[in-house]
Copies of this chain bind each other. A is one copy, B any other.
């Protein structure tokens, strides 16, 4: 778990200094788990190694997160909250289709600058396709939510007649989410071969008849 140790050290300055000690420790553990899950996967990550990477005892780790499942939930919840806050302010974007897709491109560009995020979701979402995986319900619900949000945005564009005539709106949410996920796989394997936000923008130009804000 060298990556986790390195990340925990690297990310120390990122954890607010004025947090109470317990909060800082908690944030540090989440950060190390984020890196570990995104590289070796959830199943293969070891709580003992995570504790060592954060410089806490196993008991100290279990004080904050009694199970590996609870740590996984905390990692996923934090990522989703950060994305929502940064890119989809209070669901406003979903009411304006153009704003929604512009935000989506910004989110993909942000992810491309942060390989750890991309790796976490690529590794976990496929690992979690096994029904007995603790994150299975989370990912099923996450994709249902994502398709619903994108459907609202597409409906808004259709109402405003901003979809090009050849476009079938019904399939767009599934197809565009698939495009974004699939680009991540090729990009993780071969970062120089793919520009994810550029590919998404090109695809959206073929769908939406006006330039995105």
Q: Which residues of A contact B (CB under 8 A)?
A: 39-41, 43-44, 119, 122-123, 125-130, 136, 139-140, 143-144, 147, 164, 166-168, 171, 174-175, 177-183, 185-186, 188-190, 193-194, 199, 202-203, 206
Which single member of B44, B190, B206 contacts A140 (CB below 8 Å)?
Answer: B190
Closest-by-CB residue of B relative to A206 is: B166
A166 to B43, CA, bound (A): 45
Number of copies: 2
Contact A166 B168 (CB under 8 A): no
19 contacts between A and B (CB under 8 A): A41-B41, A41-B127, A43-B44, A119-B129, A119-B130, A122-B126, A122-B129, A123-B127, A129-B188, A143-B193, A167-B206, A171-B203, A174-B194, A175-B199, A178-B179, A178-B199, A181-B181, A181-B182, A182-B183
Contact B182 A179 (CB under 8 A): yes
Q: Chain A interface mostly helix, strand, loop or mixed?
A: helix
Smallest beta-carbon distance A117→chain B, Å: 13
Please give, as numbers and ranges, the residues of chain B lying within 8 Å of A183 by CB-CB distance. Answer: 174, 178, 182
Contact B179 A186 (CB under 8 A): no
Please give, as numbers and ranges, the residues of chain B lying within 8 Å of A194 by CB-CB distance. Answer: 174
Contact A203 B190 (CB under 8 A): no
A189 to B144, CA, bound (A): 10
